[in-house]
Amino acid sequence: MDLEEEQGGVSKGPQARRSEAEAVERSNWLPWVSTPIVLLLVLAVWTLAVTAFGVSPFILPTPADVGEAVLRMLADASTWGHVAITLTEVALGFLAALVFGLVAGVVLGRAEWLERALRPVLVAVQVVPKVAFIPLFVIWFGFGVTSKIIMAATLAFFPIMLNVMLGVRSVERGHRDVMLGLGARRWATFRDLELPSTLPYVFAGMEVAVVFSVIGAVVGEFLGGSEGLGYLVVVSLNALDAPQLFAVILLLAALGCLLYLVVNGAKRFVIPWHESVLTADTP
């Protein structure tokens, strides 16, 4: 027998539920239709603006020039070497931030007295523009990838740590009391209560942190590097090669989207039961 869902005092029959399911299925296809349309409109307006107003290609190249530059770069093996360098810096910096952010967030979330004691230092370090640390990292760790990895980790650390700390403290005290009342040990309490409650906060921090990791690595390459996509941006700027500059930006955007999708996919796999995952599939 079908169960009827009560909502607002009105019960929904099988037909209503089937209509809702069909509406959800139709709306899931909307991004696949709307995104190409918006992209084509942007390209059309871009091309029209450049040709109609006679904008210099040194300032704003046409989409065709940018596309040609992208294809030229993708055909060049050295470009993939720069992509690999940036991807390595981002991945290692993000993983380091994840490990240290998890440990620091759990410790500070549980030991409130320690968080209070360190709060002035944490706030002071957090508000300082992290770009200011790059010269120090270059002096300490050289112009290689190490200084960029540390820069990426520095930017990604705080979003993860703060979200983990919030997640640890968001566990319902009553639920902890119930677990203690049932005689659950510390490991069982962590596994069955604290970990599931904190994971959504961990992934919220990771989604922000992975973007910050890309920013940290690229800014580090701007200011003190000889390889990577950030370095290619500087090379393109010095050569006044606007099409290649746009092409590198597109590669960086693709890299950032790919990493974000990886983190988002991991979230869907690890916490498929959470509201943030369920609502993403509904209109």
What one-character DSSP code corresponds to residue 3? P
Contact 83, 256 (CB under 8 A): no
Contact 250, 178 (CB under 8 A): no
- 5 DSSP β-pair partners: 12
pTM of the model: 0.81
pLDDT, one tens digit for every residue, the chain (283 residues): 444 444 444 455 666 666 666 666 666 677 777 888 888 998 888 888 888 887 777 788 888 889 999 999 999 899 999 999 999 999 999 999 999 999 999 899 888 889 888 888 888 888 888 888 888 888 888 888 898 999 999 999 999 999 999 988 888 878 877 877 777 777 787 778 888 888 999 999 999 999 999 999 998 888 877 889 999 999 988 888 889 999 999 999 999 999 999 998 998 888 887 777 776 655 4
Give pLDDT, residue 34: 81
Burial class of residue 275 in the structure, from the number of CB atoms within 10 Å of its CB (0-12 exposed, 13-18 middle, 19+ buried): exposed
**H or E segment to which residue 5 belongs:** strand 5-7
